[in-house]
Structure 1
Amino acid sequence: MGHLLLLLLLLLWSSGAQAEGKHMPTESVRLVGGDSRCAGILELKHKGDWKHVLGFEWTLKKAAFVCRELDCGSALSTRQIHESPGIPVLRIKFDCLQSGFTLEKCIRGFYSASSSLYLTCSDSVRLLNGTGLCSGRLEVRSNQSSQWWSSVCKADFDLQDAEVVCRELGCGARSALQGALYGEVEDPVWSKEFQCGGNESALLDCRISDSARTTCSPDKAVGLTCSEPDEFRLVGGDRRCAGRLELKHEEDWRPVDPSDWTLKEAAVVCRKLGCGAAVYLELKREYLGRLAWLIECVQSGSALKECAESSYTSLPSSKLTCSDSVRLLNGTGLCSGRLEVRSNQSNQWWSSVCEADFDLQDAEVVCRELGCGAPSALQGALYGEVEDPVWSKEFQCGGNESALLDCRISDSARTTCSPDKAVGLTCSEPHEIKLVEGGSRCAGRLELKHEEDWRPLFGSDWTLKEAALVCKELDCGSAVSIKKERKQFSKPVWKISSDCVQSGLLLKGCIQSTYSTSTWNLICSDLLLQPIIAVSSVDGVSKAYEQGLLLMGRVLRGFSFTISCSIQPQYPGGSFQLNFISSFFNAEHNYTQPAVNHSAYFLFPVAEPAHQINYTCVYQVYVFSHTFSSESHPLSVSVSDPPVFPLRVVFQPVTLLLLSAALYFCCKARGQTSNRQEDTELVNYPLGVGAVEREGDVQGDHLLSSGIIS
């Protein structure tokens, strides 16, 4: 009976601990070789044997799951311990950990590597339910043998105590201290009062006395926010806001590997540096010869220490260029937002600009300085209203300056600036795209011009949906195919994810520079140039002229005329189809000829009023495993009466002579070959009054028959 009661109590304690987010120490996970139970090399018990865990890819954010499973405090540091080559270590599936499973359930398998993970967790303090590892509700454990974590009452905790906790957790200075800042809590509550001097290395090193309080309401549990501990700098540049990016993490300055970064990630760093907008991120392949930081969560808003991963790399190092004194805030991208200006690098105050002190020429300079295209919108409060401070000078740019502060500046004529007059600016996207080496501007390898540099463009997750947006941007119709191609490039390629393309084609903030041997070959539907249609007549009187998109041609009644179809050379072969609608039978007719020297000719022996209709040429060719077609502008032919009799006496014999010669050569050519077709003579066409009278007799016959003229 006693054993059953003990078992029941243990089950109740376990369920209560889990309900409060507390964990019992697991028997399949341990840290060995450290100076406490919460520090050492991570080992997992796998099939009865203890195995080390692979040291690659661990960040503090991932390590926090291990500390929680060990019932330790917050994750403080991760580092790689070198092993003998070839020793198998376990690899963990991190998405499995984030789903709430234990380490034992998240083993991916063995991996032959030369490093394992050394993890340090805090022993006796932790922050829960915060936005990151440096914020949350404070909990304290009195000693390592105790499995109970206690909240701390605000009455027993002050700013000096908070400084010690932030330091112990490897965070920056405290920035907020408030009861119930990260949720209320019931018992247990720490029963002592902390009396830290502020310089201690751990909270339990502080002097502790009995608390003067008798109770502590749930809304008085201490919530603490520490600032980010990370420090950035740009080194090797010509100014403070340009150079190779380095991060100080765990007291160690290292280069940052930005292989997967775009200007969106770089913009976060520029902001942390107190610089303006991210203008350019350049990659340079070089062997750094030392550890670098890989950072995955720049845009998450949490401290970068949570996602800094230590790794050897020979991947590209970076040169980041931020603007010194201008930036756009709260816009839809890096090229739009509310304009702010800083007068000099030593001044940390950014000021909005009043619409009255800023014009279109000033906007051109700002867009150029930020690496964007020409200004497309300039309006007060376009991206939100703003209070003071407001820039107190008027800009007087000529429009050709390279930076806004290079412009002439004078005292402003205004006395006040209302919040809805703060300048909002939208610059156009600076990119150009093209398809090359495909025989047409609508087919070939995709390239992008960014920062005046043409490079191949690649995104590993692109589909026809992304290709369709490119074809639309190029005014090339719809997407026919997208194919990945392998090719060696001497410099990095531009990379853009599919999500970014679909959010707004080729946004400046989405482009990243990376080394790759892959690129995309796109084929759009408007692959072909537009055919040219023309009319000519043996009477020498026909004329053609444009009226908008409609071509107009004039021929004389009773004389022969020819409609020609041609196209500029792109691909060999193909055929032309002449289309027109008969007003007599209200039906569409078409006649096809093979393209010879990229042209075809269709002969009408006698012009009649029924020929006074619209004609179009359609060129078709089979290339890239698809049949493509392109249609000409419509040609409207008018039929006029011939000149007075004296002219008819001159023209008609000539016409008959030419027609006879044409028929002679036609028959001669037909006898030589039946496969060659250059012109088509359209004869026996029931025209005019006679056609109307004989309509019932000819509907079952061919409307036109073809002949060949060599």
Structure 2
Amino acid sequence: MPSWCPLLCRLAMLLCVWAPCQAQSDTELPPGTPIIQLRLAGDKRKHYEGRVEVYYNGEWGTVCDDDFSIHAANILCRELGFVEAVSWSPSSKYGKGEGRIWLDNVHCSGRERTLAQCKSNGFGVSDCKHSEDVGVVCNQRRIPGFNLNVQIEEVRIRAIYSQRKRVPITEGYLEVKDGGKWRQICDEEWTEMNNRVICGMYGFPGEKGYNTKVYNLVLRLLAKRRKKNYWDFGVNCTGNEASLHGCKLGHKVELKGNATCEKGMPVVVSCVPGRAFAPSYTQGFSKAYRVEQPLVRLRGGANTGDGRVEVLKNGEWGTVCDDSWNLKAASVVCRELGFGSAKEALAGGRLGQGMGPVHMNEVECSGFEKSLTECYFNRDALGCSHEEDAAVRCNVPAMGFQNKLRLSGGRNPFEGRVEVLAEKNDSLVWGTVCSDSWGTMEATVVCRQLGLGFASNAFQETWYWPGDVRADDVVMSGVRCSGTEMTLAQCLHHGKHLHCPRGGGRFAAGVSCSESAPDLVLNAQVVEHTTYLEDRPMYILQCANEEHCLSSSAATATPSSYRRLMRFSSQIHNNGQSDFRPRAAHNSWVWHDCHRHYHSMEVFTHYDLLSLNGTKVAEGHKASFCLEDTQCEEGKELHCCLRR
């Protein structure tokens, strides 16, 4: 996660936006040629190199490196206004992109006018991952007379001095980075629709007016101190774009000799935060966002603003089919839930497969609807399955939450002792969290706050993760989370009156996080209707005990004792994203006499059944056995456990 500057007096968002013209007009292309736009993006790059991204059907995506060639790179560079390509790079050299992989197996002869004319599998037809995103390096020389629209490198909202300590930053001058310099935009012909797009990019669902007197005063005070640098182009947005790169560039703005705006003042953007992010002067921040009787919700996402889209119909939650799913529909969902516009519209059950009916199919939105239920959709979900469940990733305001929490002492950035930045004796200090009552819900919130994905484990002992010795003191105790909170501070806790009988040290709370989710999905209604209790003697449960299929208390049970088991239907769906290949070295595996195989004894996730008051009724987990076949079906790869 990036580190934020002194709480965000300057809120910057990398856009790397190209709004290019084609080297020739669209009318010169053969009829039926898809209309696309291209841009170069990615990490640590110059303006003439980067990851190839294609804008098609209202959405940016990438190009797979399969069969890519210097001929394709030449076509692409010329389309962007460079004379030729120097080289191309496979395997996401400039970082992994997001969204769809629009083109795969691209074959160009070198004579095409646009990349869209090259042969390929077709738009959106690909078996690639973003680890295969292709990049190019173009010759810096430009094609003479090529009409290239201006490149916007970055965009930021720069708050005036009196508001720089506010979190989130909702108002300020809009500035763009052009040619390495930050420039303001003239408000001539600037519209509310432009504001709506900017606010959406920064995670805010709406825009509002601002006090012009304040900014006129600021301008007068600064007029004698420095000369304003204005960007000399306008921007025309319709308001339903997910980000500024979807807007058209306007005409050149007339500037005076001292580079000031002749007919107006700098653009000021003022945004309305969603309820979950609105400052509360009495409690810091409001609790996790809960809408009364919501019609839409997100499920299955690790981070705030991510998730599978589910809608409520006739008292039953169901999913949305990904047919025709795009950024406009995704942005309606995000704004409805109090976020900004959508960063990504995900298809193919990317954030897990749901349960129950598919309520909506072929959703079409204008982008201005208040709710997804106002959009046109086909009620007939014929042909749709949960493998096609739609999902979203929303733009969320920069709150700096990740700066108030850290993991220390772990073997990798995804695990460690939890350390919190807390106020002590009128100063901020790092300290540990008491592990009493520490569990999966609390770990889930920690992983979410740090942007590290899902919680794999919650640890009540962390003596093997020494952490920072200066942060050994307990600064937070009695933590109880529901699992929906955005930060650990939003969970119930003791406040300033700490109570931790076991103390910190080896008993400080810890977590391990994972980028992928467990794949076990219980049908709660089936569990509820089929549950029954059964008593069995321990001596016939030895195999189950050997494979850790009983609760932890069975470790001390005698063979003649009885265990009370809670049994229910085995209607369980493996619908998640986890990789269940064992990670433990093979020499650490354990031989099981009962079933005559080795087991790595790795637990992938925990599943505890709780009562309505939160008391644990039964504990469970999911592990994976690695059984080897000597032969595989044709087309199947043999995975040898002994190789690990």
Rg (Cα) greater in structure:
1
Taking structure 1 as the reference length, the TM-score comes to: 0.29
Higher relative contact order (CA 8 A, sep 6+): 2
Q: Tell me which protein shows more strand as a share of its residues.
A: 1
